[in-house]
Amino acid sequence: MLRNVPADWREQTKEQRAAVNQHYIAAIAEHFRTAKKKEKVRAADLPLEERLANYIIEGTRDGLIADLEKKRGEGAAPLDIVNGPLMAGMAEVGRLFNANELIVAEVLQSAEAMKAAVSHLEQFMEKADTAKRGKVVLATVKGDVHDIGKNLVEIILKNNGYDVVNLGIKVPPEELIKAYQEHKPDAIGLSGLLVKSAQQMVITANDLRDAGIEIPMLVGGAALSAKFTQTKIAPSYGKAVCYAKDAMTGLRLMNELMDPATRESVLRTHTASGNGASVSTVVSVQEIPVVTRSPRVRMDLPIPPVQSLDRKVRLVPDLREVWGYINSFMLFGRHMGFRGDFEKRLAERDPKAVELFENMEEVKREAAEFMRVRAVWQFFEAEAEGELVHLFTTGEKEPVHTFRFARQRQGDFLCLSDYVLPAKNGQRDHLALFVVTAGEGVRERAEKAKNEGYYFKSHGLQALAIESAEACAEWLHRRIREDWGIPDPPEMTMAQRFTSRYRGKRYSFGYPACSNLEDQAGIWKLLKPEEISVQLTEGFMMDPEASVSALVFHHPDCTYFSVGDAGEN
């Protein structure tokens, strides 16, 4: 115990209590830093303080409440237990995650233990006792439905002592300004999935600046980068804007911003000089050779016939069948954080892989009760004209819709229109369009689980839904190939399918070969995906989040390429 500090917490000043907490945190952190890696600490052998931290690090609740009571029995104040050993546990979780020793799934289990401990202690706390490390208003920007990344940030910040006001998805600047005035946060966190959302962040930042807001902003998202943040968002805001590549970086930045010793330097590093940048809509025009068709794409191929040009709307009856198309690298690796070859490690009965697999099976059992995977698709007759692809309903002369694709300005001069074969003997080629979704009801259920402190389930459900949508796209694409009379060879493995070793390819608007997201409107006009409950937002994203749209080409020369105008982020 620190010298000159009364033993009974009730007699300590606020500063003394903070010093005691710091003392515990440092001691516990030191213990775990020097403890041998991988060696499971025998919890029962640890002193009570370290045992409490250990529940959080191990993400377990077995014995937690009894030990919390023991600690209270020693006279410890509930808030000091939270800010002392429990927070020390969370700090160690952060350290282990950054050192690649814990995965996302484990961090979520730690957060669950933290939430359970805090929920138990709250009943013994005075209202005024709930002092937090800081307050963050968090939102996904206007037009964007991306929820999973933002929610992960909320879980991590909340369970590390921050008060988080999560405004949800598709949040316009006005709502953020209102929330700022109401909640008086220490920082604003913005999230978004697409390039368009990164541009929306520039606009939002400018509106916040005009409203006189000056608190630091944190931004994150798959299509965002530190460079875009620094060169576009920060100048637009005029104050500090920090790029957080993941939730743990978000936490580190918040900690640094709330610590008087580091705050000024973080603010300085993340504030751009200059008066603000507007989102440029000016595209520099280069001299380009006139190429209307790539020499790399064959034209003299037979047109495969299509059985039916009817629009099809289906509820996929067998969830397990679709789940068979889930890419475990994405589900277990990218979303749940498993490092290495998950399937190989599972086959070897690696305990971490087995535990994660079983926990996800539990999530799947629950999802099977409500998840609806739905698809709408249709073949259209197609004719190319330069960079245009005209789509027709059976035998009609006038196209029902025309897509304009961009052409590469160098190299192979590829353009998606090149993959449509010229009509032969009055017979047109075809293009298939689809939209699939697995997102119905997911947001509400994930939100409920999150609010109840079941973080693994909450994140797992969202991850399962988005990867189910991707799996359904893979499943439907295979079926479309079969309907086209170009089925996969029987020996084709799922791994080969995931690396698209089949004939033809599917392209989604927003990806580098057809990056113009506004073209989604054409799909909506033709397929009416509202019938499977998928809406297009003003940012041309699909709501619900777990949805995928695509154009399917059969041409054997199809390859993934970039036209190089995706907007540099």
Q: Which of 20, 86, 153, 382 binds ligand B1M (CB under 6 A)?
A: 153
Shortest distance, position 152 Cβ to ligand B1M, whole Å:
4
DSSP 30: H
DSSP H or E run through 350: none
Say whether residue 474 binds ligand B1M (CB under 6 A): no
Say whether residue 524 binds ligand B1M (CB under 6 A): no
Shortest distance, position 227 Cβ to ligand B1M, whole Å:
15
Shortest distance, position 77 Cβ to ligand B1M, whole Å:
30
Query: For ligand B1M, which is the closer residue by CB, 56 or 331?
Result: 331
Shortest distance, position 37 Cβ to ligand B1M, whole Å:
24
Q: Which of 19, 48, 222, 303 binds ligand B1M (CB under 6 A)?
A: 222
Written as one string, the DSSP assignment of 428-467 is -EEEEEEEEE--TTHHHHHHHHHHTT-HHHHHHHHHHHHH
Say whether residue 464 binds ligand B1M (CB under 6 A): no
173-212: which residues touch ligand B1M (CB under 6 A)? 189, 191, 193-196
The CA distance from 507 to 339, in Å, is 28
- At 487, list the tokens: 């089925």
374-385 vs 162-166, strand pairing mode = unpaired
Say whether residue 150 binds ligand B1M (CB under 6 A): yes
Say whether residue 223 binds ligand B1M (CB under 6 A): yes
- Which 3 state secondary structure label does DSSP give 403? strand
Q: Which spans in 76-147 are helix H?
A: 78-81, 87-98, 104-122
Amino acid (one-letter) located at 107: V
The CA distance from 80 to 78, in Å, is 5
Nearest to residue 111, comparing CAs of 359, 458, 508?
Answer: 458
Say whether residue 515 binds ligand B1M (CB under 6 A): yes
* Cβ neighbours around 333 below 10 Å, total: 17
The CA distance from 271 to 263, in Å, is 12
Say whether residue 247 binds ligand B1M (CB under 6 A): yes
Say whether residue 215 binds ligand B1M (CB under 6 A): no
Say whether residue 233 binds ligand B1M (CB under 6 A): no
Say whether residue 256 binds ligand B1M (CB under 6 A): no
Shortest distance, position 161 Cβ to ligand B1M, whole Å:
15
Contact criterion met (CB below 8 Å) for 319 and 371:
yes
Shortest distance, position 8 Cβ to ligand B1M, whole Å:
38
Q: Which of 85, 143, 149, 216 binds ligand B1M (CB under 6 A)?
A: 149
Place of tokens 């994150």: 220
Q: Which of 78, 238, 250, 529 binds ligand B1M (CB under 6 A)?
A: 250
Q: Which of 117, 145, 202, 416 binds ligand B1M (CB under 6 A)?
A: 145
Q: Cα-atom radius of gyration of the chain, to the nearest Å?
A: 27
Query: For ligand B1M, which is the closer residue by CB, 49 or 144?
Result: 144
Q: Which of 246, 341, 387, 483 binds ligand B1M (CB under 6 A)?
A: 246
Q: Is the peptide bond before 6 cis (omega within 30 degrees of 0)?
A: no
Query: For ligand B1M, which is the closer residue by CB, 28 or 171?
Result: 171
φ, ψ of residue 230 in degrees (nearest 5): -70, -40
Q: Which of 22, 60, 508, 533 binds ligand B1M (CB under 6 A)?
A: 508
Say whether residue 258 binds ligand B1M (CB under 6 A): no
Dihedral of alpha carbons 475, 481, 483, 485, sign? negative
- At 211, list the tokens: 């409203």
Q: Which of 548, 552, 558, 563 binds ligand B1M (CB under 6 A)?
A: 548
The CA distance from 535 to 533, in Å, is 6
Contact criterion met (CB below 8 Å) for 117 and 84:
no
Nearest to residue 190, comparing CAs of 131, 159, 232?
Answer: 232
Shortest distance, position 393 Cβ to ligand B1M, whole Å:
23
Say whether residue 545 binds ligand B1M (CB under 6 A): yes
Shortest distance, position 327 Cβ to ligand B1M, whole Å:
10
The CA distance from 149 to 261, in Å, is 29
The CA distance from 96 to 33, in Å, is 9
The CA distance from 162 to 135, in Å, is 6
Q: Which of 172, 185, 504, 510 binds ligand B1M (CB under 6 A)?
A: 510
Q: Which of 334, 352, 401, 409 binds ligand B1M (CB under 6 A)?
A: 334
Say whether residue 337 binds ligand B1M (CB under 6 A): no
Span interacting with ligand B1M, options 377-385, 386-394, 402-410, 462-470, rule CB under 6 A? 462-470
Residue, CB closest to ligand B1M:
220
Say whether residue 514 binds ligand B1M (CB under 6 A): no
The CA distance from 553 to 556, in Å, is 9
Interface residue list for ligand B1M (CB under 6 A) = 138, 145-146, 148-150, 152-153, 189, 191, 193-196, 218, 220-223, 244, 246-247, 250, 334, 466, 469-470, 508-511, 515, 541-542, 545-549, 566
